[in-house]
Chain A
């Protein structure tokens, strides 16, 4: 490490009014100047800063209770030729009613050739995929290397700009994960790298994203994130309507919960459901009653969860949908994906099995999005591809 240059001042030297050398006096003057400039800069910044006030969206209960969903179509998203592995899709609505999906694909998880791909849903079909981020493109934009590419999470801001958060690791596995913030002004056709979000003091490592952001009343949003070296805990990053990060907070105090999925229940109450990395094998939950400022752990739900990702979505009629892996007696922890419904965020009832395989099958990492009266879901299909289902949301009293 660099050496400290100071000569040691003996007590006698400190007491006597010894004349300081010229360069030491200059250093002291520079220190005074530095303190003045620092204080001036902070005062100037403070005088120009606007107060960011976060407020969860007021749920609008438009429409009757949900009675079920009817499948309209299902498909596999187009994949690049010769790429055998795909995982972790994320959906974002586009202005005008479109939808865009992002996921990572490559030779294998953590492989050097893994890239983030995208495809657009329009007129009932998926467009040809395009490449969004690779370790080469991120390394070039950031000015330093990226070892592996992981989960992408997408969000469309009120101004139509598309925001993408991509997990990109430093030296090491997923424990060395960092979050790259990207932005697009052409509906995802091209992205610019804004920065790596500073999330931890440990070489900025071990923060990942998986679940979709939650919209706030003024057009800002919360991005769910989680820490995962040793203890695993959920957190959220708050962004203003322009996509600038505002604050970070931990969700509860549990140390075996990750991948939070957030839903606002009222202007003050927000709930989080999480993947369980502990022994209870139940979907974990936390609640905030002060608009997301502070969080309390709540007893786990009765829903099965053997360390698998889940997605929760509040529909425009106020109902809650959870897409999650259910317990599968003749299968494995990720072999059956089911859609559950709740109207009070406390009790859940199964609505529909999306897919039910056998032991060794994997249908995991679900994502959901509502576009008008349609529900779109995507998930990892056997680690080989991304599957998509389109449903019509049936409300009570409606004709199918």
Chain B
């Protein structure tokens, strides 16, 4: 187990909650002017930096501890996208969402004692956790270089970098990649994606009945 220094965690907590809150605000507010965006980020950071109970981060960390590095990475990428004037996407990519939702489910069932796999403790393993982090970092870097899902890959790399260099947020690899808020987001995105896919399939099943006569007509036309 290699745990981060408490002071480093305090700074991370303030900064991470500030960026997550700013990303959320910018996603919800119809802001277009860059100056307003800067003001919102600066105001959120200043609010979180307030001492003791005056800071919302003091209460957020009391209730939720630290956001995962990946949630922080997504927040930074969301801020970047808003800076470039792109509209926010509230649903996570289906593949990533499904992966995070499935891993989270397993991890939380294990934590609640339903399973006895010791998955969370494995996140402290001095050999397996760093190896997994390095392998994932290389994989996502290659992904980003190829231009596939560059923003989620960058978010993932931010989480892995924070873990590998500073062991933030807690020293556990799982805490770098997942937290209950991120898991809820992934689960929600998975459900939305599944419903869309189901609706798409239903629509596809309905179509052939309507398209039948046209196909017959087309074949007939070719025969002529």
Contacts and interface: CB of A to CB of B under 8 A. Distances in A.
A147 B81 contact: no
A233 B62 contact: no
Interface string A237-265: 00000001111111001010000000000
Contact of A231 (B3, B6, B113): B113
Nearest to A39: B134
Interface string B155-188: 0011011011100001110110011111001000
Given A198-B170, A249-B121, A6 B149 contact: yes
A249 B116 CA distance: 10
A198 B171 contact: yes
Contact of B89 (A4, A195, A202, A231): A4
A31 B62 contact: no
Contacts of B108: 201-202
B42 interface: no
A142 interface: yes
A287 to B, nearest CB: 16
A17 to B, nearest CB: 10
Interface string B1-37: 1110010011001100000100110010000000000
Contacts of B154: 27, 30-31, 34
Interface stretch (A41-49, A105-113, A357-365, A372-380): A41-49
A191 to B, nearest CB: 13
Interface stretch (B138-146, B197-205, B206-214): B138-146
B24 to A, nearest CB: 6
Contacts of A12: none
Given A7-B86, A42-B133, A2 B23 contact: yes
Interface in A281-307: none
A28 interface: yes
Given A245-B1, A255-B113, A145 B53 contact: yes
Q: Interface residues of A: mostly helix, strand, loop or mixed? A: mixed
B195 interface: no
A1 B62 contact: no
Contacts of A253: 116
Given A34-B157, A34-B161, A3 B78 contact: yes
B27 to A, nearest CB: 4
Interface size class of A (residues with CB under 8 A): 35 or more
A311 to B, nearest CB: 24
Interface string B121-132: 100111000110
A247 B185 CA distance: 30
A32 B145 contact: yes
A3 B164 contact: no
A49 B124 CA distance: 14
A201 B107 contact: yes
Nearest to B107: A201
B164 A42 contact: yes
Given A6-B77, A230-B113, 19 more contacts: A5-B81, A5-B89, A6-B89, A27-B151, A31-B140, A34-B137, A34-B161, A49-B126, A139-B52, A145-B61, A171-B63, A194-B6, A198-B172, A198-B175, A200-B120, A202-B111, A227-B113, A246-B1, A250-B121
